[in-house]
Chain A
Amino acid sequence: MNKQIMIDAAKCTGCGLCQVLCSLSKSHQFNPSLARIKIWREETRGVFIPLTCQQCVNPPCVNACLMNVISKDPITGVTVRKTENCIGCRACQIACPFEACSYDHLLNVVVNCDQCGGNPACVNICPFGALQYLPVNEALNTCRDAEAVRRANL
């Protein structure tokens, strides 16, 4: 697993463009309910939290699946599904802490983010940088450097 969609909820304004683009690229419709990324909206608090697949290495959804259709792609490390065999039972949804399994009501199967094969539409469109597609360790290094600068300058 090299890159991950990193979420910085503090930057999310809840505009929903990510969902629109996701549904367009995956289901050819402008329809947020078909998106594989969700925005958890707490409008009264002004909080918007994008939620999407965290690409766990050993994901709970794999264990929960009653049809054994979910697996980790051995090369990309992305959590992939053989949707032909999915019966839409939603067990994976209940097993995922991150609300990352979406019910595709056109195909009656459950789906998750596949990072668009390495060029995620949601990240490309996000106007505020709340979503970033970065190698995990590189992102970590950047954060660590920032922390080091903070300490060095104290």
Chain B
Amino acid sequence: MKNMLMIDHHKCVGCKNCEMVCSLVHEGICASSLSRIRVAKDERAGWNVPISCVMCEKPLCVTVCPVGAASRNPVTGLVTFDEQKCIGCRQCIQVCPFSHANFNQALGVAFKCDQCEGEPQCVKYCPSGAITFEPLEIALHQRRQETAQKIAADTLI
């Protein structure tokens, strides 16, 4: 897998632009319930957490799917659902450890993030930079730097 969808929920402002653009590009309408990425928020506690697919190496949704509609591409690492094969039994939804897999009530099929063929639109339209799409090494490097800076700042003061 080349790029990874990294979400830094500390940067999320909870605008839900990602939900709007995601449902727009995939379903042609702006509707949170049809968005792949979802932002859970608690305004009083003051957090916003965007949740999308982490593309597990050993995805439970693939294991639990009784009709082979969920599959993981061993080359790209992309986990996808095939709408034509899906029977709408919702096992993937019940089993996903991150509550990412979602269900389209109107079509009766499960859906999930497909990383927009390598150009995730949620990333493009995220105004606060909370969602990034970059190679794992770069993302890790970034995180490491940020953590290091924090530790340095704490110990220096």
Contact = CB atoms under 8 A, between A and B. Distances in A.
Partners in one complex: yes
Interface residues of A, number: 27
B87 A56 contact: yes
Contacts of B105: 1-2, 136-137
Interface string B108-128: 110000000000000000000
B146 to A, nearest CB: 15
Contacts of B88: 1, 56-58
A116 interface: no
Interface size class of B (residues with CB under 8 A): 20 to 34
A46 to B, nearest CB: 21
Contacts of B51: 144, 147-148, 151
Contact of A97 (B49, B66, B103, B108): B66
B40 A1 contact: no
A56 B94 CA distance: 13
A144 B40 CA distance: 7
A57 B108 contact: yes
A77 B47 CA distance: 36
11 contacts: A4-B90, A54-B91, A58-B88, A59-B87, A136-B93, A140-B93, A144-B40, A144-B51, A145-B40, A147-B51, A151-B49
Interface of A: 1-2, 4, 6-7, 54-60, 77, 97-98, 136-137, 140, 143-149, 151-152
